[in-house]
Amino acid sequence: MLALCPLLLLGACSAQTAESQRTTQPADWDAELRLPEAVDEDPDPHVFETTLIAKVVNLELVPGKLTAVWTYNGVLPGPLIRVRQGDRLRVHLKNELPEATTIHWHGIRLPNAMDGVPGDTQPAVEPGGSFDYDFVLPDAGTFWYHPHADSAAQVGYGLYGPLLVDDPSEPAELGDELVLVLSDMLLDPRGSGQQQPADAGGDLETLFGREGDTLLVNGKLNPTLRPRAGRRQRWRLINAAKTRYYQLALQGQSFTRIGGDDGLSAAPQELDRVVLTPGQRADVMLELAMPSASTLPVRWVPYDRGYGSVEYRSEETLFTLQTSALAAESSPARPVVSRELAAVDITQATAQRIELTQSPAGTPFSLGINGVPGAEAQPIQVSVGDTQLWTVHNNVPWAHPFHVHGFFFQVLDVNGVPPPVLEWRDTVDVPVDATVRLAIQFNERPGMWMFHCHILDHADAGMMGMVHLHAH
Ligand code: C2O
Ligand code: CU
Ligand code: CU
Protein backbone atom coordinates (compact mmCIF):
# COMPACT_ATOMS: atom_id res chain seq x y z
CA MET A 1 0.00 0.00 0.00
CA LEU A 2 1.32 3.40 -0.96
CA ALA A 3 1.80 5.64 2.02
CA LEU A 4 2.71 9.30 2.01
CA CYS A 5 4.71 9.08 5.18
CA PRO A 6 5.08 12.07 7.47
CA LEU A 7 8.07 14.33 7.12
CA LEU A 8 11.20 13.48 8.95
CA LEU A 9 12.99 16.66 9.72
CA LEU A 10 16.23 16.03 11.48
CA GLY A 11 18.23 18.81 12.97
CA ALA A 12 17.21 22.19 14.19
CA CYS A 13 13.46 21.81 14.15
CA SER A 14 12.94 21.00 17.81
CA ALA A 15 15.09 23.96 18.83
CA GLN A 16 12.82 26.33 16.92
CA THR A 17 12.03 29.50 18.82
CA ALA A 18 10.07 32.60 18.00
CA GLU A 19 13.38 34.41 17.70
CA SER A 20 14.76 32.07 15.03
CA GLN A 21 11.63 32.40 12.93
CA ARG A 22 11.91 36.14 12.60
CA THR A 23 13.63 37.17 9.45
CA THR A 24 16.17 39.95 9.55
CA GLN A 25 15.79 40.75 5.89
CA PRO A 26 15.37 44.45 5.14
CA ALA A 27 11.65 45.31 5.13
CA ASP A 28 11.29 45.63 1.38
CA TRP A 29 13.80 43.02 0.32
CA ASP A 30 11.22 41.17 -1.81
CA ALA A 31 8.98 44.15 -2.70
CA GLU A 32 9.51 43.80 -6.46
CA LEU A 33 8.83 40.07 -6.37
CA ARG A 34 5.93 40.01 -3.94
CA LEU A 35 2.94 38.12 -5.25
CA PRO A 36 -0.62 39.33 -5.01
CA GLU A 37 -2.49 36.98 -2.66
CA ALA A 38 -5.95 35.55 -3.06
CA VAL A 39 -8.51 36.78 -0.51
CA ASP A 40 -10.11 34.15 1.71
CA GLU A 41 -13.86 34.84 1.77
CA ASP A 42 -14.65 32.09 4.30
CA PRO A 43 -14.11 32.65 8.06
CA ASP A 44 -13.54 28.92 8.70
CA PRO A 45 -9.74 28.54 9.13
CA HIS A 46 -9.78 25.22 7.26
CA VAL A 47 -11.76 26.45 4.26
CA PHE A 48 -10.21 28.83 1.75
CA GLU A 49 -12.84 30.33 -0.50
CA THR A 50 -12.01 32.78 -3.24
CA THR A 51 -13.10 34.11 -6.61
CA LEU A 52 -10.97 34.07 -9.74
CA ILE A 53 -12.15 36.20 -12.62
CA ALA A 54 -10.46 35.33 -15.90
CA LYS A 55 -10.19 38.53 -17.91
CA VAL A 56 -7.99 40.47 -20.30
CA VAL A 57 -6.31 43.60 -18.94
CA ASN A 58 -3.56 45.91 -20.14
CA LEU A 59 -0.36 45.68 -18.12
CA GLU A 60 2.94 47.49 -18.43
CA LEU A 61 5.36 44.54 -18.66
CA VAL A 62 7.90 46.38 -20.78
CA PRO A 63 8.58 50.00 -19.74
CA GLY A 64 6.40 52.47 -21.63
CA LYS A 65 4.34 49.81 -23.44
CA LEU A 66 0.99 48.26 -22.70
CA THR A 67 0.41 44.56 -23.28
CA ALA A 68 -3.01 42.93 -23.35
CA VAL A 69 -2.56 40.06 -20.86
CA TRP A 70 -4.99 37.26 -20.05
CA THR A 71 -5.16 37.19 -16.26
CA TYR A 72 -6.90 35.99 -13.16
CA ASN A 73 -8.22 39.01 -11.29
CA GLY A 74 -6.21 41.43 -13.43
CA VAL A 75 -2.80 40.40 -12.03
CA LEU A 76 0.16 38.47 -13.45
CA PRO A 77 0.70 35.81 -12.28
CA GLY A 78 -2.73 35.01 -10.87
CA PRO A 79 -3.12 35.49 -7.11
CA LEU A 80 -1.14 33.22 -4.78
CA ILE A 81 -3.46 30.75 -3.10
CA ARG A 82 -1.90 29.52 0.13
CA VAL A 83 -3.53 26.85 2.26
CA ARG A 84 -2.52 24.16 4.70
CA GLN A 85 -2.44 20.45 3.99
CA GLY A 86 -5.89 19.02 4.63
CA ASP A 87 -7.69 22.32 4.03
CA ARG A 88 -10.60 22.64 1.66
CA LEU A 89 -10.34 25.00 -1.30
CA ARG A 90 -13.37 26.53 -2.96
CA VAL A 91 -12.81 28.66 -6.04
CA HIS A 92 -15.52 30.46 -7.96
CA LEU A 93 -14.29 30.86 -11.52
CA LYS A 94 -15.94 33.57 -13.58
CA ASN A 95 -15.10 33.74 -17.25
CA GLU A 96 -14.82 37.22 -18.73
CA LEU A 97 -12.50 36.07 -21.53
CA PRO A 98 -13.52 36.13 -25.19
CA GLU A 99 -13.45 32.31 -25.25
CA ALA A 100 -14.27 29.25 -23.13
CA THR A 101 -11.92 28.27 -20.31
CA THR A 102 -11.49 26.03 -17.23
CA ILE A 103 -9.03 25.76 -14.34
CA HIS A 104 -6.81 22.74 -13.95
CA TRP A 105 -5.09 22.31 -10.56
CA HIS A 106 -1.71 21.03 -11.64
CA GLY A 107 -0.34 18.32 -9.35
CA ILE A 108 -3.30 18.14 -6.98
CA ARG A 109 -4.68 14.68 -6.21
CA LEU A 110 -8.31 15.76 -6.39
CA PRO A 111 -11.63 14.16 -7.37
CA ASN A 112 -11.90 13.72 -11.14
CA ALA A 113 -14.82 16.15 -11.50
CA MET A 114 -12.56 18.97 -10.22
CA ASP A 115 -9.67 18.36 -12.65
CA GLY A 116 -10.71 21.05 -15.13
CA VAL A 117 -10.49 19.16 -18.43
CA PRO A 118 -13.31 20.39 -20.67
CA GLY A 119 -15.41 17.66 -22.26
CA ASP A 120 -13.95 14.97 -20.00
CA THR A 121 -14.33 16.15 -16.40
CA GLN A 122 -16.58 19.22 -16.83
CA PRO A 123 -18.17 21.32 -19.54
CA ALA A 124 -16.03 24.22 -20.76
CA VAL A 125 -16.96 27.49 -19.05
CA GLU A 126 -18.25 29.73 -21.83
CA PRO A 127 -17.71 33.52 -21.85
CA GLY A 128 -19.99 34.99 -19.18
CA GLY A 129 -20.24 31.62 -17.43
CA SER A 130 -18.91 30.36 -14.14
CA PHE A 131 -17.87 27.15 -12.40
CA ASP A 132 -17.27 26.26 -8.75
CA TYR A 133 -14.25 24.18 -7.81
CA ASP A 134 -14.37 22.56 -4.40
CA PHE A 135 -11.89 19.99 -3.11
CA VAL A 136 -9.53 19.09 -0.26
CA LEU A 137 -5.75 19.46 -0.58
CA PRO A 138 -4.27 16.13 0.52
CA ASP A 139 -0.59 16.88 -0.04
CA ALA A 140 1.86 19.60 0.93
CA GLY A 141 3.94 21.10 -1.85
CA THR A 142 4.36 23.75 -4.51
CA PHE A 143 1.57 23.52 -7.08
CA TRP A 144 -0.02 25.81 -9.64
CA TYR A 145 -3.20 26.39 -11.60
CA HIS A 146 -3.87 27.14 -15.25
CA PRO A 147 -6.60 26.69 -17.89
CA HIS A 148 -7.07 23.44 -19.80
CA ALA A 149 -8.93 24.87 -22.81
CA ASP A 150 -6.95 26.20 -25.78
CA SER A 151 -4.08 25.75 -23.32
CA ALA A 152 -1.08 26.87 -25.35
CA ALA A 153 -2.80 30.16 -26.17
CA GLN A 154 -4.36 30.82 -22.77
CA VAL A 155 -1.33 29.87 -20.64
CA GLY A 156 0.97 31.67 -23.07
CA TYR A 157 -1.15 34.82 -22.81
CA GLY A 158 -0.79 34.88 -19.00
CA LEU A 159 -3.27 32.55 -17.30
CA TYR A 160 -1.37 30.83 -14.48
CA GLY A 161 -1.03 31.23 -10.76
CA PRO A 162 0.76 29.61 -7.79
CA LEU A 163 -0.92 27.31 -5.26
CA LEU A 164 1.04 26.53 -2.11
CA VAL A 165 0.02 23.85 0.32
CA ASP A 166 1.92 24.19 3.58
CA ASP A 167 2.94 21.47 5.95
CA PRO A 168 2.74 23.27 9.31
CA SER A 169 5.52 21.09 10.74
CA GLU A 170 8.16 22.49 8.38
CA PRO A 171 10.68 24.63 10.28
CA ALA A 172 11.17 28.30 9.41
CA GLU A 173 14.94 27.58 9.33
CA LEU A 174 14.55 26.28 5.79
CA GLY A 175 15.12 29.89 4.80
CA ASP A 176 13.49 33.21 4.03
CA GLU A 177 10.94 32.11 1.50
CA LEU A 178 10.21 33.32 -2.01
CA VAL A 179 7.66 31.86 -4.40
CA LEU A 180 8.99 32.43 -7.92
CA VAL A 181 6.73 31.92 -10.92
CA LEU A 182 8.86 31.72 -14.08
CA SER A 183 7.23 32.45 -17.42
CA ASP A 184 7.85 34.11 -20.74
CA MET A 185 5.86 36.01 -23.33
CA LEU A 186 6.26 36.39 -27.05
CA LEU A 187 5.88 40.05 -27.94
CA ASP A 188 5.48 41.68 -31.31
CA PRO A 189 8.97 42.13 -32.85
CA ARG A 190 7.97 45.60 -34.11
CA GLY A 191 7.83 46.80 -30.52
CA SER A 192 4.12 47.53 -30.09
CA GLY A 193 4.17 45.68 -26.76
CA GLN A 194 1.37 43.38 -27.92
CA GLN A 195 1.61 39.61 -27.75
CA GLN A 196 2.20 37.54 -30.85
CA PRO A 197 -0.70 35.31 -31.90
CA ALA A 198 -0.58 31.83 -30.36
CA ASP A 199 -0.12 30.23 -33.81
CA ALA A 200 2.67 32.54 -34.99
CA GLY A 201 5.13 30.70 -37.23
CA GLY A 202 2.84 27.78 -38.05
CA ASP A 203 3.63 24.06 -37.75
CA LEU A 204 7.39 24.52 -37.56
CA GLU A 205 7.06 26.65 -34.47
CA THR A 206 4.55 24.22 -33.01
CA LEU A 207 7.05 21.40 -33.47
CA PHE A 208 9.79 23.34 -31.68
CA GLY A 209 7.35 24.92 -29.24
CA ARG A 210 6.91 28.66 -28.91
CA GLU A 211 9.23 30.30 -26.42
CA GLY A 212 8.65 33.89 -25.42
CA ASP A 213 11.28 36.58 -25.83
CA THR A 214 10.32 38.42 -22.64
CA LEU A 215 11.34 36.56 -19.49
CA LEU A 216 9.18 37.25 -16.48
CA VAL A 217 9.64 36.39 -12.82
CA ASN A 218 6.43 36.86 -10.86
CA GLY A 219 5.18 38.82 -13.86
CA LYS A 220 8.12 41.27 -13.82
CA LEU A 221 10.89 41.90 -16.28
CA ASN A 222 14.28 41.60 -14.52
CA PRO A 223 13.12 42.59 -11.04
CA THR A 224 15.60 43.20 -8.22
CA LEU A 225 15.69 41.28 -4.95
CA ARG A 226 17.40 43.12 -2.09
CA PRO A 227 18.35 40.50 0.49
CA ARG A 228 20.72 40.68 3.39
CA ALA A 229 24.04 38.96 2.68
CA GLY A 230 24.48 35.63 4.40
CA ARG A 231 20.81 34.91 5.06
CA ARG A 232 19.59 31.59 3.77
CA GLN A 233 16.75 31.74 1.26
CA ARG A 234 14.26 29.14 0.20
CA TRP A 235 13.02 29.45 -3.37
CA ARG A 236 9.88 27.67 -4.44
CA LEU A 237 10.16 27.66 -8.21
CA ILE A 238 7.34 27.04 -10.69
CA ASN A 239 7.89 26.82 -14.44
CA ALA A 240 4.66 28.21 -15.89
CA ALA A 241 6.05 28.79 -19.39
CA LYS A 242 4.34 26.84 -22.13
CA THR A 243 7.57 25.68 -23.80
CA ARG A 244 10.73 27.11 -22.25
CA TYR A 245 12.91 24.94 -20.05
CA TYR A 246 14.57 26.85 -17.21
CA GLN A 247 18.13 26.12 -16.18
CA LEU A 248 19.05 28.51 -13.38
CA ALA A 249 22.59 29.43 -12.43
CA LEU A 250 24.18 31.89 -10.04
CA GLN A 251 27.90 32.62 -10.22
CA GLY A 252 29.75 31.09 -7.27
CA GLN A 253 26.59 29.74 -5.64
CA SER A 254 25.12 26.31 -5.38
CA PHE A 255 21.60 25.21 -4.61
CA THR A 256 20.38 22.61 -2.17
CA ARG A 257 17.37 21.07 -3.84
CA ILE A 258 15.06 19.71 -1.15
CA GLY A 259 11.90 19.03 -3.14
CA GLY A 260 10.38 18.71 -6.57
CA ASP A 261 6.87 18.61 -7.98
CA ASP A 262 4.99 17.00 -5.14
CA GLY A 263 6.57 17.84 -1.82
CA LEU A 264 9.98 17.19 -0.35
CA SER A 265 12.41 14.63 -1.77
CA ALA A 266 13.72 11.68 0.24
CA ALA A 267 17.08 13.49 0.56
CA PRO A 268 18.58 16.84 -0.41
CA GLN A 269 20.82 17.28 -3.45
CA GLU A 270 23.65 19.81 -3.91
CA LEU A 271 23.45 21.31 -7.40
CA ASP A 272 25.22 24.04 -9.34
CA ARG A 273 22.19 24.46 -11.55
CA VAL A 274 18.50 23.81 -11.19
CA VAL A 275 16.52 22.63 -14.22
CA LEU A 276 12.74 22.83 -14.56
CA THR A 277 10.78 21.68 -17.59
CA PRO A 278 7.45 23.37 -18.30
CA GLY A 279 5.03 22.34 -15.55
CA GLN A 280 7.71 21.30 -13.04
CA ARG A 281 8.44 22.77 -9.64
CA ALA A 282 11.58 22.78 -7.49
CA ASP A 283 12.11 23.65 -3.84
CA VAL A 284 15.66 24.88 -3.22
CA MET A 285 17.67 26.37 -0.37
CA LEU A 286 20.36 28.89 -1.16
CA GLU A 287 23.11 30.00 1.22
CA LEU A 288 23.79 33.51 0.01
CA ALA A 289 27.57 33.78 0.08
CA MET A 290 27.81 37.21 -1.54
CA PRO A 291 29.26 40.24 0.29
CA SER A 292 27.04 43.11 1.42
CA ALA A 293 26.23 45.78 -1.18
CA SER A 294 27.06 43.60 -4.15
CA THR A 295 25.12 42.52 -7.24
CA LEU A 296 24.65 39.13 -8.88
CA PRO A 297 22.38 38.19 -11.78
CA VAL A 298 20.26 35.06 -11.59
CA ARG A 299 20.79 33.64 -15.06
CA TRP A 300 18.75 31.56 -17.45
CA VAL A 301 21.20 29.19 -19.15
CA PRO A 302 20.23 27.48 -22.43
CA TYR A 303 19.32 23.84 -21.88
CA ASP A 304 19.56 21.24 -24.61
CA ARG A 305 16.07 19.98 -25.40
CA GLY A 306 16.79 19.42 -29.11
CA TYR A 307 17.93 21.38 -32.14
CA GLY A 308 17.50 25.14 -31.77
CA SER A 309 17.42 25.13 -27.98
CA VAL A 310 21.12 25.88 -27.47
CA GLU A 311 22.50 26.81 -30.90
CA TYR A 312 23.18 30.56 -31.22
CA ARG A 313 21.51 31.24 -27.91
CA SER A 314 22.98 33.04 -24.97
CA GLU A 315 22.33 33.33 -21.28
CA GLU A 316 19.79 35.84 -20.06
CA THR A 317 19.17 37.54 -16.73
CA LEU A 318 16.00 36.48 -14.95
CA PHE A 319 16.32 38.75 -11.96
CA THR A 320 19.04 40.51 -10.04
CA LEU A 321 20.23 39.98 -6.48
CA GLN A 322 21.47 43.15 -4.89
CA THR A 323 22.52 42.64 -1.29
CA SER A 324 21.74 45.44 1.11
CA ALA A 325 24.45 47.45 2.81
CA LEU A 326 23.55 45.86 6.18
CA ALA A 327 26.25 43.65 7.66
CA ALA A 328 26.06 40.03 6.58
CA GLU A 329 24.22 37.85 9.02
CA SER A 330 24.09 34.11 9.06
CA SER A 331 20.88 32.15 9.38
CA PRO A 332 20.14 29.66 12.14
CA ALA A 333 21.70 26.23 11.71
CA ARG A 334 20.59 24.61 8.52
CA PRO A 335 18.18 21.75 9.03
CA VAL A 336 18.76 18.46 7.27
CA VAL A 337 15.62 17.93 5.29
CA SER A 338 14.51 14.46 4.39
CA ARG A 339 11.32 12.54 3.91
CA GLU A 340 10.53 8.92 4.42
CA LEU A 341 9.36 7.64 1.06
CA ALA A 342 8.75 4.05 0.08
CA ALA A 343 9.43 2.91 -3.47
CA VAL A 344 6.27 1.89 -5.33
CA ASP A 345 5.95 -1.89 -5.36
CA ILE A 346 5.99 -2.85 -9.05
CA THR A 347 5.94 -6.64 -8.69
CA GLN A 348 2.29 -6.83 -9.85
CA ALA A 349 2.45 -3.81 -12.17
CA THR A 350 0.79 -3.81 -15.59
CA ALA A 351 3.22 -2.75 -18.31
CA GLN A 352 2.24 0.02 -20.71
CA ARG A 353 4.37 1.18 -23.64
CA ILE A 354 3.93 4.84 -24.52
CA GLU A 355 5.64 6.18 -27.64
CA LEU A 356 5.75 9.94 -28.14
CA THR A 357 5.31 10.35 -31.88
CA GLN A 358 5.09 12.73 -34.79
CA SER A 359 3.00 12.26 -37.95
CA PRO A 360 4.98 10.72 -40.83
CA ALA A 361 6.62 13.00 -43.38
CA GLY A 362 4.26 13.88 -46.23
CA THR A 363 1.12 13.72 -44.05
CA PRO A 364 -0.55 16.69 -42.32
CA PHE A 365 1.43 17.71 -39.23
CA SER A 366 0.35 16.39 -35.87
CA LEU A 367 1.91 14.94 -32.76
CA GLY A 368 0.61 11.90 -30.96
CA ILE A 369 0.99 9.06 -28.55
CA ASN A 370 1.59 5.63 -30.08
CA GLY A 371 1.05 7.24 -33.50
CA VAL A 372 -2.42 8.60 -32.69
CA PRO A 373 -3.23 12.26 -31.99
CA GLY A 374 -5.03 12.82 -28.67
CA ALA A 375 -8.44 13.59 -30.18
CA GLU A 376 -8.58 10.18 -31.92
CA ALA A 377 -6.98 8.11 -29.18
CA GLN A 378 -8.61 5.29 -27.21
CA PRO A 379 -8.13 5.67 -23.46
CA ILE A 380 -5.90 3.26 -21.56
CA GLN A 381 -8.24 1.12 -19.45
CA VAL A 382 -7.18 0.81 -15.81
CA SER A 383 -9.00 -0.44 -12.71
CA VAL A 384 -8.79 1.25 -9.34
CA GLY A 385 -6.08 -0.49 -7.32
CA ASP A 386 -3.82 -1.17 -10.33
CA THR A 387 -0.18 -0.30 -10.33
CA GLN A 388 1.13 0.56 -13.78
CA LEU A 389 4.66 0.61 -15.11
CA TRP A 390 4.85 3.01 -18.02
CA THR A 391 7.75 2.88 -20.43
CA VAL A 392 7.73 6.24 -22.19
CA HIS A 393 9.90 6.47 -25.27
CA ASN A 394 10.58 9.62 -27.24
CA ASN A 395 10.56 9.22 -31.04
CA VAL A 396 10.51 12.95 -31.81
CA PRO A 397 13.85 14.79 -32.04
CA TRP A 398 12.86 17.25 -29.30
CA ALA A 399 12.47 16.55 -25.59
CA HIS A 400 9.02 16.31 -23.98
CA PRO A 401 8.00 17.03 -20.39
CA PHE A 402 5.55 14.18 -19.77
CA HIS A 403 2.77 15.06 -17.31
CA VAL A 404 0.09 12.90 -15.67
CA HIS A 405 -3.02 14.39 -14.08
CA GLY A 406 -4.38 13.49 -10.67
CA PHE A 407 -1.71 10.98 -9.60
CA PHE A 408 1.93 11.18 -8.59
CA PHE A 409 4.47 8.82 -10.01
CA GLN A 410 7.99 7.71 -9.23
CA VAL A 411 10.61 7.70 -11.96
CA LEU A 412 12.33 4.31 -11.99
CA ASP A 413 15.01 5.18 -14.52
CA VAL A 414 15.95 7.32 -17.51
CA ASN A 415 17.80 5.22 -20.12
CA GLY A 416 18.31 2.66 -17.36
CA VAL A 417 19.80 5.11 -14.86
CA PRO A 418 17.77 5.65 -11.66
CA PRO A 419 17.21 9.27 -10.57
CA PRO A 420 19.56 10.64 -7.88
CA VAL A 421 16.84 10.86 -5.22
CA LEU A 422 13.47 9.27 -4.64
CA GLU A 423 10.60 11.71 -4.91
CA TRP A 424 7.06 12.11 -6.17
CA ARG A 425 6.69 13.75 -9.54
CA ASP A 426 3.84 14.64 -11.85
CA THR A 427 6.01 15.88 -14.73
CA VAL A 428 9.20 14.28 -16.04
CA ASP A 429 11.52 15.22 -18.88
CA VAL A 430 11.79 12.64 -21.67
CA PRO A 431 14.96 13.69 -23.51
CA VAL A 432 15.57 13.12 -27.23
CA ASP A 433 15.72 9.35 -28.00
CA ALA A 434 15.32 8.56 -24.32
CA THR A 435 13.27 5.93 -22.52
CA VAL A 436 11.83 6.83 -19.13
CA ARG A 437 10.18 4.23 -16.91
CA LEU A 438 7.75 5.36 -14.27
CA ALA A 439 5.51 3.69 -11.71
CA ILE A 440 2.00 4.94 -10.94
CA GLN A 441 -0.49 3.58 -8.47
CA PHE A 442 -4.02 4.24 -9.65
CA ASN A 443 -5.36 3.41 -6.23
CA GLU A 444 -8.36 5.74 -5.90
CA ARG A 445 -10.54 8.34 -7.61
CA PRO A 446 -12.00 6.75 -10.77
CA GLY A 447 -12.65 8.85 -13.86
CA MET A 448 -11.03 10.11 -17.05
CA TRP A 449 -7.49 11.29 -16.31
CA MET A 450 -5.38 13.02 -18.88
CA PHE A 451 -1.65 12.72 -19.57
CA HIS A 452 0.25 14.87 -22.05
CA CYS A 453 3.37 16.72 -23.01
CA HIS A 454 3.56 19.96 -21.00
CA ILE A 455 5.02 21.86 -23.92
CA LEU A 456 1.50 23.08 -24.50
CA ASP A 457 2.04 23.63 -28.21
CA HIS A 458 2.78 19.89 -28.38
CA ALA A 459 -0.22 18.92 -26.27
CA ASP A 460 -2.54 21.00 -28.47
CA ALA A 461 -0.94 19.41 -31.57
CA GLY A 462 -2.04 15.98 -30.28
CA MET A 463 0.54 14.72 -27.79
CA MET A 464 -1.99 13.76 -25.18
CA GLY A 465 -3.86 10.70 -24.01
CA MET A 466 -6.32 9.49 -21.42
CA VAL A 467 -6.53 6.94 -18.67
CA HIS A 468 -10.03 5.62 -18.08
CA LEU A 469 -9.84 4.60 -14.46
CA HIS A 470 -12.69 2.25 -13.59
CA ALA A 471 -14.19 1.71 -10.17
CA HIS A 472 -14.48 -1.96 -9.24
CU1 C2O B 1 -0.42 21.53 -16.06
CU2 C2O B 1 -2.80 19.00 -18.15
O3 C2O B 1 -1.56 20.25 -17.09
CU1 CU C 1 -1.87 18.66 -14.63
CU1 CU D 1 6.40 17.77 -26.25
| Domains in the chain: ranges and CATH | 7-168 (2.60.40.420), 176-339 (2.60.40.420), 350-470 (2.60.40.420)
Nearest CA owner, ligand 1 atom 1: 106
pLDDT value at residue 10: 37
Most confident of 11-15, 173-177, 401-405: 401-405
User: Ligand 3 center to residue 207 CA distance, Å?
Assistant: 8
Q: Find out whether the beta carbon of 148 lies less than 6 Å from any atom of ligand 1.
A: yes
Query: What residues pack around ion ligand 2 (CB closer than 5 A)?
Result: 106, 405
Nearest CA owner, ligand 1 atom 3: 106
pLDDT tops 80 at residue 20 = no
Q: Per-residue pLDDT tens for 95-144?
A: 999 999 999 999 999 999 999 999 999 999 999 999 999 999 999 999 99
Percent of the chain with pLDDT over 90: 91
User: Ligand 1 center to residue 130 CA distance, Å?
Assistant: 20
pLDDT tops 90 at residue 439 = yes
User: Ligand 1 center to residue 31 CA distance, Å?
Assistant: 30
Residue 336 pLDDT grade (very low, low, confident, very high; cuts 50, 70, 90): confident
Q: Per-residue pLDDT tens for 278-293?
A: 999 999 999 988 999 9
Q: Find out whether the beta carbon of 240 lies less than 6 Å from any atom of ligand 1.
A: no
Q: Return mean pLDDT, the chain.
A: 94
pLDDT value at residue 360: 95
Q: Contact 232/286 with Cβ under 8 angstroms?
A: yes
pLDDT value at residue 22: 63
**Which residues share a beta bridge with 449?**
467
Q: Find out whether the beta carbon of 450 lies less than 6 Å from any atom of ligand 1.
A: yes
Q: Per-residue pLDDT tens for 441-459?
A: 999 999 999 999 999 999 9
Atom of ligand 1 nearest to the CA of 117: 2
User: Ligand 3 center to residue 162 CA distance, Å?
Assistant: 23
